[in-house]
Amino acid sequence: MSQGTSTMIARTRRSETDDRELLARIAAGGEDAFTELVRRYQRRFYGIARRMLGDDREAEDAVQTAFLRIHRHAAAYREEWSGATWLYRILTNVVIDHWRKRRRLGEVPLSATDVVGTAVNVERVDVDRALAKLPAEARAILLLCYVEELPYAEIARARGISINTVKTQLLRAKGLMRRYLKR
Amino acid sequence: MIHGTHDHDFRSVLAPPAAPAGLAERVLQAARERRETGALALRFDIAASERGVARLHPGKGEIRAESRRARTLAERAREELSEYLEGLRSYFTVPIDLAATAGFQRAVLEAARAIPFGEVRSYGWVAEHIGKPRAVRAVGTALGRNPVPLVVPCHRVLRSDGSLGGYGLGLDLKSRLLSLERETPAIVGSDTTRIVCRHGCPNEQRIAERHRVVFATIAEARQAGYRRCRRCLPADH
């Protein structure tokens, strides 16, 4: 094993114990632990929510909701789960629910900040449009795999589905994305 | 943009934009506000008849009921109210007694009751819905005199330009209730029973947080191998 890999594993393990400890402290009413968790996960949560919803404001709303749920339900966390998996389940639950409500209102917003004629922004809008056409579940799984780089088993656990369903949903999502982005 | 079929292409294409400045601070502020909203249920005065909850307004947390059944209904209302304000419930099952209202006002309140959790309508929509499209202002007045706010969700009615309009219990509470509803999930399943419920269904309330899975639609829940709860019958609208 290279030194780089072993350092990475050591880092992952350390943050894993930290997550568990933080959740236990939040359950016991520790506000500083909640503050620390928010600071630690806000970027990652925002990344998933932003890609999932395609809109800056909605992404921020969803991130906020997810943290509030974590705050309220920290006592329900059980240590047999990896801390991060539990957090991602709550986040994806929230984000999918946001998507559902918006879909029922019949709007698929793309934020004004994206609709600027530069090459980079055009690319962002294309990816958001393509993602918006995917079913919500497949999209969440695609993002957990390629943005968060979670292993299949963790994705399965975070979404309450089997590993085989993760694989089929991923294949489907990737096939559709390729088709949408080639146009 | 995705030139080949390799995984690293997906990684770079999907890389999300950076989080906005001050996000963490806004989240922490919202958490503080939420704690205050949850505590509200205990401060409502509730009056009930044998038929249902008749009045609800901020006070000292007193209950007014003429019979044992009425008292049970008022207590049930407080419990559901408290679950609702804590984001644990998306609908009320306690009956409502609108006998003190009549005619136009009654029709307006019934229309407001039809607005689903987490959604909003305009004053104009309510006016059209009851067949009086020109009575937009009167609709506002009728909603302002809602005897059972929250349970009859007059807070889901906004101006057509999206601004808040009015609210008998204060605009601050109106906007808090709307954001609470945006944040509360509606279709929740258990990964042990593989059943999906409406949020607030007794079966749903028994699901431990770690077994909770939220779905966008019933159709997607079905695809993932979940079936609908027979008690609350969740549906796609």
Is it true that domain B103-166 has CATH number 1.10.10.10? yes
pLDDT tens profile B205-228: 888 877 888 877 777 788 888 999
pLDDT tens digits for range B22-57: 999 999 988 887 777 777 888 899 999 999 999 999
Binary contact (B182, A101; C-beta < 8 A): yes
Q: Is B24 on the interface with A (CB under 8 A)?
A: yes
Burial of B170 (0-12, 13-18, 19+ CB in 10 A): exposed
User: A100: which chain B residues are within 8 Å (Cβ-Cβ)?
Assistant: 186-187, 215-217
| A97 contacts in chain B (CB < 8 Å) | 185-187, 214, 216
pLDDT digits over B175-211, tens only?
Answer: 889 888 877 777 889 988 999 998 878 888 888 877 8
ipTM of this predicted structure: 0.73
Confidence of residue A108 (pLDDT cuts 50, 70, 90): very low
Contact A161 B23 (CB under 8 A): no
What integer best gives the mean pLDDT of chain B?
87
Confidence of residue A114 (pLDDT cuts 50, 70, 90): very low
Would you state the pLDDT for residue B5?
Answer: 52
State the nearest Cα–Cα gap between A137 and chain B, in angstroms.
7
Tokens of A64: 């906020």
Identify the band that residue B97 occupies on the pLDDT scale cut at 50, 70 and 90: very high
User: Is B232 marked active-site?
Assistant: no
Output A125 or B176, whichever has higher pLDDT: B176
A4 pLDDT exceeds 60?
A: no
DSSP sequence for chain A: --HHHHHHHHHHHHHHHHHHHHHHHHHTT-HHHHHHHHHHHHHHHHHHHHHHH--HHHHHHHHHHHHHHHHHHGGG--TTS-HHHHHHHHHHHHHHHHHHHHHHHT-----GGG--SSHHHHHHHHHHHHHHHS-HHHHHHHHHHHTS---HHHHHHHHTS-HHHHHHHHHHHHHHHHHHHH-
Whether B158 and B174 have beta carbons less than 8 Å apart is answered as: no
**Residue range A141-171, pLDDT digits in tens:** 999 998 888 899 999 999 999 999 999 999 9
Residue spans of the domains in chain B: they are: 103-166, 187-228
Residues of B (217-236) whose Cβ lies below 8 Å from A: 217, 220, 223-225
By CB atoms closer than 10 A (0-12, 13-18, 19+), residue B223 is middle
| H/E run at residue B31 | helix B23-38
Alpha-carbon distance B57 to nearest alpha carbon in chain A (angstroms): 26
User: pLDDT tens, B144-155?
Assistant: 999 999 999 999
Ordered by where they begin, the domains of chain A are 3-182 (1.10.1740.10)
Question: What does the pLDDT average to over A105-123?
Answer: 45
Q: At B190, is the secondary structure helix, strand, or coil? A: strand
Q: Contact at 8 Å (CB) between A136 and B216?
A: yes
Q: What is the pLDDT of residue B212?
A: 84
Asked if A178 lies within 8 A of B5 by C-beta distance, the reply is yes
Distance of CA B143 to the CA centre of its chain: 17
Q: Is the pLDDT of residue A3 over 70?
A: no
CB-closest option in A34, A47, A126 to B16:
A47
- Residues 84-103 (B) with a CB less than 8 A from some CB of A: 86-87
* Per-residue model confidence (pLDDT) at position A118: 42
Alpha carbons B158 and B161: distance in angstroms, whole number: 8
Q: Is the pLDDT of residue A124 over 80?
A: no
- Comparing alpha-carbon positions, the chain B residue that sits nearest to A143 is B14
Q: Is B44 helix (H, G, I), strand (E, B) or coil?
A: strand
